Amino acid sequence: MEKICRDDEGLFETRRWKGGRVYKVFAGSVFLGILMIWVYRLTMILRGSSCSWALMFGVFGAELWFGFYWFLTQASRWNPVFRYTFKDKLSLRYEDKLPGVDVFVCTADPSIEPPSMVISTVLSVMSYDYPTEKLSVYLSDDGGSQFTFYALLEASRFAKYWIPFCKKFRLEPRSPAAYFAQAIEPNDAAFSAEWIAVKKLYEEMDNRINAAMKEGKLPQNIHEQHKGFAEWETGITAKDHQAIVQILIDGKDETSVDIEGSVLPTLVYMAREKRPHRHHNFKAGAMNSLIRISSEISNGEIILNVDCDMYSNNSETIRDALCFLMDEEKGHEYAYVQFPQDYDNITKNDIYAASMKSIREIEFHGLDGFGGILYIGSGCFHRREVLSGRHYSKHWKKNTKIDKPIQRVTNLETLEAKCKSLTTCSFEDNTGWGNEIGLKYGCPVEDVITGLSIKCRGWKSIYFNPPRTDFVGLAPMTLSQTLVQHKRWSEGDFQIFLSKYNPFLFGHGKIKFGLQMCYSIYCLWAPCSLPTLYYSTIPALALLNSIPLFPDMKSIWFIPFAYVIVTTSVYSITEAMWIGQSRKAWWNEIRIWLYKRLASYLFAFLDDVLKVIGVNKTSFIITSKILDEDVSRRYAKEIIDFGPASSMLTILSVIGILNLFCLVGGLKKMLVFHEGIVSSLFLQFVICGLITMINLPLYQAMFLRRDGGRIPVSTTVISISLALLACLIPLH
Ligand SMILES: *[C@@H]1O[C@H](CO)[C@@H](O)[C@H](O)[C@H]1NC(C)=O
Ligand SMILES: *[C@@H]1O[C@H](CO)[C@@H](O)[C@H](O)[C@H]1NC(C)=O
């Protein structure tokens, strides 16, 4: 790593990867190979090739796309930078001038996101190593659930024990659920006594919350414990209710202290108004309401937002973020600091490739090198003023401002009433909210366009990926959850590409071209499905029909194909080793890479195209959210959970079976008829053979397994029939 552009004065340092030059030479050679492949295809087309025009144009189209997309991905590997912070300097210089920080936690549905999990996240951010009088935590509950409110009330009481306990013994992580799941009872007598007492308090609280959830109603005496429960007395529902704002801990109140007498962080519950006929704009709508009410209550200069299933795994994260935002020389250029997300529940070889390590460890550093990591919706520190629409200007407060406490009405009831009026359905009518102010509306991945438009207003952003992961969530534990998650992402990202926020158009002249390319890597996930679909069906079928689509092994044109395939594979496995993946994990990632492209991206692409031509959304996808014990057991053993039947699964099965049939048919011709086809069909054998190897677990799940995660018999029958049908189509 070589150090760039900082002396020893700053609060952070940036380093660039030294191997960069070698990589650029390598990438250049691959690019030459790709050009040769294109030239080969062109000459074939001009000369009139042996196979039909349709096949030749198809394969050329696919290779044009792959080459173009490969070119885009180079942007993310061109200029990766790595950041290091100096938190001790921050404390030395600014300990008494630290800004207020408002943490936003968003939850949507108590049946999917259990309140006991939500409050563990809340408690983890309440216990940050940060002056508590400057820390405020807001929970937005789009489920409008009294169970979530109840759980938060319990958390506000437990916090009085938990926060001093964490700080006294410097515990990590500070989510009580995560801590007690992995901690062993300490030996030290004093620590041990307190440890057992706090653990008991935690377990009792957890039991009370879960019991109430199971019962479906709150115990009678609870209602009298807080005035807030009155909000639910009129029988409101999740989709139809008034605005609710309850300040559970008021950090400005001298009596809100923990058992050691220290002030507690402010804690606020919010359920914005919901009416059946009013669109609520999902998480972006919730975030904008939080921005408004927090400006009345604490008005922290910095806003951190986290998803409710992402607890903080590092109590010093705020200080890390401030090292960038408060840096004397550069800090004023940065709008936000994005942290990566990791998962608690990843198995050793990461069967669903959920950790997306190459994005986290490589590509995002590349985006950072171009001055602009994406805002990915969780684990991100924003400046309040920037979220509220401010443009970048060079002269904007170069010296870090001291946080001025806001003039606030002292009466809580009045304050809550004021806040409620800010979170009604009609408040945003005819205002800039959702457009110039706050998070943007109208796109399923609102975070990405919000981040993009902030950068187009002149700001930069920082990606900070410390060795110790800061935000930890739950990874999907079945194949269908994985595929549906990626369908949602790729669909939203491609929508951005088709909209006025297209990175090349919207970003033109405002952000670097490299960054526009980097954004497009994600925005163009969905269309990658078509060439991949072509490559995983047609070469196999052509193999079965003994039609060569690629140059003969003895031809000189074979060399660029072999070069590109071999070197990119070797590079891919080298990169995987370098970022600490096992070989098995790398292989699993390739499988999921293929499945995502053939299922998630394909349906995302279809949905987006249908939307553009005005047809309503398709309803291809139905998934069950139920995670029973069997699922967890299979997950722990790294056995892929394929079920239940879905159109995504059918596509994957058809392609898996088709390649198996074609490979067997091709091998049979070669062995039985001794045709001299190996050399002319070699690359097709390779492609077909690879797809078959990738699909070994799929065949197993069709024919050998008996458990609940197997492929349903109906899907097996349908896919075998469809694959046979495809094999019968004459390609000549
Ligand atoms: C959480 O932090 C600990 C260090 O305290 C680290 O060992 C662990 O790997 C982190 N968890 C995850 C999921 O990254
Ligand atoms: C995490 O995964 C393990 C299996 O590796 C499973 O037993 C456990 O229930 C999972 N935890 C959560 C919170 O889902």
Q: Does residue 70 share a domain with residue 144?
A: no
Closest listed residue to residue 301, CA positions, set 392, 457, 406 = 406
pLDDT bin (cut points 50, 70, 90) of residue 624 is very low
Q: Does residue 345 share a domain with residue 467?
A: yes
What sign results for the dihedral spanned by CA atoms 222, 293, 419, 434? negative
Q: Does residue 269 share a domain with residue 126?
A: yes
Catalytic annotation, pick one of 447, 470, 493, 641: 447
Cα 113 to Cα 107, 278, 633, 679: the distances in Å are 7, 24, 21, 56
Q: Does residue 549 share a domain with residue 436?
A: no
Phi-psi group of 711: left, alpha or beta (phi > 0 → left; psi -120 to 50 → alpha; rest → beta): beta
Helix (H) / strand (E) element for 200: namely: helix 189-215
Q: Does residue 397 share a domain with residue 314?
A: yes
The confidence score (pLDDT) of residue 50 equals: 62
Distance between start and end Cα atoms, the chain: 55
CATH at residue 327: 3.90.550.10
Structural domains of the chain, count: 2
Which tokens hold the place of 416?
Answer: 């809550």
Cα 317 to Cα 127, 128, 383, 516: the distances in Å are 11, 8, 15, 29
| CA–CA separation, 604 and 374 (whole Å) | 21
pLDDT bin (cut points 50, 70, 90) of residue 643 is confident
Q: Does residue 295 share a domain with residue 164?
A: yes
Residue 15, C-beta contacts closer than 8 angstroms, at least 6 positions apart: 1, 2, 3, 4, 81, 82, 83, 84
Cβ burial of 81 (10 Å; 0-12, 13-18, 19+) is buried
636 lines ligand 2 (CB under 6 A): yes
Beta bridge partners of residue 106, listed in sequence order: 140, 307
| CA–CA separation, 566 and 563 (whole Å) | 5
**Minimal-distance CA residue to ligand 1 atom 1:** 313
The confidence score (pLDDT) of residue 8 equals: 66
Q: Is 142 a catalytic residue?
A: yes
Answer whether residue 318 is part of any domain: yes
| CA of 109 relative to ligand 1 center, distance in Å | 27
Q: Does residue 452 share a domain with residue 567?
A: no
Residue 338, C-beta contacts closer than 8 angstroms, at least 6 positions apart: 364, 373, 374, 375, 376, 379, 380, 381, 451, 461, 462, 463, 464
The boundaries of the domain holding residue 663 are 56-76+532-727
Cβ atoms of 509 and 693 within 8 Å: the answer is no
| CA–CA separation, 339 and 324 (whole Å) | 12
Instruction: Please provide the DSSP assignment of 677-723 as one string.
Output: THHHHHHHHHHHHHHHHHTHHHHHHHHT--STTS--HHHHHHHHHHH
Q: Does residue 430 share a domain with residue 323?
A: yes
Pairing assessment for the beta strands 101-107 and 302-307 based on DSSP bridges: parallel
The yes-or-no verdict on residue 667 having pLDDT over 80 is yes
Answer whether residue 212 is part of any domain: yes
Best residue among 632, 638, 640, 641 to mutate for probing ligand 2's pocket (most ligand atoms within 8 Å of CB) is 632
| CA–CA separation, 425 and 75 (whole Å) | 42
| CA–CA separation, 625 and 111 (whole Å) | 10
Q: Does residue 103 share a domain with residue 71?
A: no
Atom of ligand 2 nearest to the CA of 117: 13
Cβ atoms of 472 and 344 within 8 Å: the answer is yes
| CA of 124 relative to ligand 2 center, distance in Å | 20
Mean of pLDDT values over 605-617: 84
Mean of pLDDT values over 537-546: 93
The confidence score (pLDDT) of residue 623 equals: 47
Closest listed residue to residue 262, CA positions, set 391, 148, 133 = 133
Residue with tokens 């870090």: 400
Closest listed residue to residue 549, CA positions, set 446, 687, 376, 642 = 687
Q: Does residue 408 share a domain with residue 536?
A: no
Cβ atoms of 388 and 291 within 8 Å: the answer is yes
Name residues contacting ligand 1 (CB within 6 A).
172-173, 313, 342, 344, 468-469, 472
The yes-or-no verdict on residue 218 having pLDDT over 80 is yes
| CA of 467 relative to ligand 1 center, distance in Å | 9
Which tokens hold the place of 169?
Answer: 């013994």
| CA of 643 relative to ligand 1 center, distance in Å | 32
| CA–CA separation, 431 and 511 (whole Å) | 27
Residue 546, C-beta contacts closer than 8 angstroms, at least 6 positions apart: 666, 669, 675, 677, 681
| CA of 345 relative to ligand 2 center, distance in Å | 6
The yes-or-no verdict on residue 251 having pLDDT over 50 is yes
| CA–CA separation, 684 and 669 (whole Å) | 14
pLDDT bin (cut points 50, 70, 90) of residue 359 is very high
Cβ burial of 64 (10 Å; 0-12, 13-18, 19+) is middle
CB atoms within 10 A of CB 628: 9
What does the DSSP 8-state code read for residue 361?
A: I
Higher per-residue pLDDT: 546 or 129: 129
Answer whether residue 8 is part of any domain: no
Q: Does residue 170 share a domain with residue 319?
A: yes
Ligand nearest to the CA of 472: 1
Weakest-pLDDT range from 349-363, 668-682, 694-708:
668-682
CA atoms within 13 A on the CB side of 548: 17
Cβ atoms of 305 and 451 within 8 Å: the answer is no
| CA of 307 relative to ligand 1 center, distance in Å | 18
| CA–CA separation, 585 and 356 (whole Å) | 11
Answer whether residue 387 is part of any domain: yes
Answer whether residue 25 is part of any domain: no
Cβ atoms of 127 and 137 within 8 Å: the answer is no
Q: Torsion angle, CA of 277/278/281/282, rounded to 10 degrees?
A: -60
Best residue among 635, 638, 639, 640 to mutate for probing ligand 2's pocket (most ligand atoms within 8 Å of CB) is 635
Mean of pLDDT values over 64-84: 95
Pairing assessment for the beta strands 334-338 and 81-85 based on DSSP bridges: unpaired
Which tokens hold the place of 64?
Answer: 């044009």
**Minimal-distance CA residue to ligand 1 atom 10:** 469
Q: Does residue 374 share a domain with residue 341?
A: yes
Cβ atoms of 688 and 659 within 8 Å: the answer is yes
Which tokens hold the place of 31?
Answer: 């690019």
52 lines ligand 2 (CB under 6 A): no
pLDDT bin (cut points 50, 70, 90) of residue 51 is low
Q: What percent of the chain has pLDDT over 90?
A: 74
Residue 112, C-beta contacts closer than 8 angstroms, at least 6 positions apart: 625
| SS3 of 277-333 | CCCCCHHHHHHHHHHHHHHHHCCCCEEEEEECCCEECCCCHHHHHHHHHCCCCCHHH
Weakest-pLDDT range from 17-21, 29-33, 59-63, 94-98:
17-21
| CA of 309 relative to ligand 2 center, distance in Å | 14
Best residue among 170, 313, 361, 465 to mutate for probing ligand 1's pocket (most ligand atoms within 8 Å of CB) is 313
The confidence score (pLDDT) of residue 564 equals: 97
pLDDT bin (cut points 50, 70, 90) of residue 398 is very low
What sign results for the dihedral spanned by CA atoms 410, 416, 417, 421? positive
Cα 518 to Cα 70, 74, 447: the distances in Å are 11, 8, 16
The confidence score (pLDDT) of residue 626 equals: 53
Weakest-pLDDT range from 50-54, 155-159, 206-210, 465-469:
50-54
Mean of pLDDT values over 260-273: 95
CB atoms within 10 A of CB 497: 20
Closest listed residue to residue 171, CA positions, set 159, 183, 160 = 183
CB atoms within 10 A of CB 433: 23
Predicted confidence (pLDDT) per residue in 691-718, tens digit: 999 999 999 999 999 988 999 999 999 9
> What strands lie across the sheet with 2-4, from one edge to the other?
2-4, 12-16, 81-85
Instruction: Please provide the DSSP assignment of 664-681 as one string.
Output: HHHHHHHHHS--TTHHHH
Residue type, 225: Q
Mean pLDDT, the chain, integer: 91
**Minimal-distance CA residue to ligand 2 atom 4:** 636
Which tokens hold the place of 358?
Answer: 């190459």
Answer whether residue 605 is part of any domain: yes
**Minimal-distance CA residue to ligand 2 atom 8:** 632
Answer whether residue 110 is part of any domain: yes
* CA angle, residues 223, 227, 230, in degrees to nearest 5: 65
Q: Is 109 a catalytic residue?
A: no
Answer whether residue 313 is part of any domain: yes
